[in-house]
Structure 1
């Protein structure tokens, strides 16, 4: 009987620590959404770095003006698309992921 009471007291003492592990993560984004967001953020950083490198090459005279403008425009369009996907994913996470999910086009 004393052992049962001791076990019950230990369980009650640990309960506040254990509750977060057993709760469903309804309010938090799923792993796939987190992974997708991380991938989009990494891609955004790569595009920004490419634009900076392109700017450097143009200023150094290694790239013709037409080529520079065309490549920069392409990178800017990709950056805009990435930012829209990030915004859509953030809005979906903020709303709790309710409703159907549209897969952003790449």
Structure 2
């Protein structure tokens, strides 16, 4: 009976020891995803600020309407790409552009 209990405890310890790297890998993946998410959220906020700044420059008369339209279109396309990457990360899909924003 004592041997069976000792063997059971030993097997439990071995199972915990062997599964340790597997648990760490999941944690590392989750941490990497959280870091990527934070990076994308920061890029999104920065892009939104650029859009607001471009709008302000146009309203202040610093840029022409044609230049503003071009810049606005480009900035919004970049913002959409960032939002798509965030959506892909949330859905568990690989992002369409892994290089980043």
TM range (shorter): 0.5 to 0.7
> 2:34 and 2:61 mapped to 1: Cα distance?
41
> 2:95 and 2:50 mapped to 1: Cα distance?
26
Uncovered stretches (5+) of structure 1, i.e. residues with no partner: 1-21, 93-100
1:40-63: CA deviations, max 9, x gaps? 000000000000000000000001
4+ runs deviating over 6 angstroms: none
Structure-1-length-normalised TM-score: 0.63
Residue pairs, 1:1-106, within 5 angstroms? 24=23, 30-92=30-92, 102-105=94-97, 106=99
Structure-2-length-normalised TM-score: 0.66
> 1:35 and 1:42 mapped to 2: Cα distance?
11
Structure number with the higher helix fraction is 2
- The total of aligned residue pairs comes to 77
Q: Which has the higher contact order (CA 8 A, sep 6+)?
A: 1
Task: Calculate the aligned-residue CA RMSD, in Å.
Answer: 2.5
> 1:79 and 1:38 mapped to 2: Cα distance?
15
> 1:31 and 1:76 mapped to 2: Cα distance?
29
Uncovered stretches (5+) of structure 2, i.e. residues with no partner: 1-19
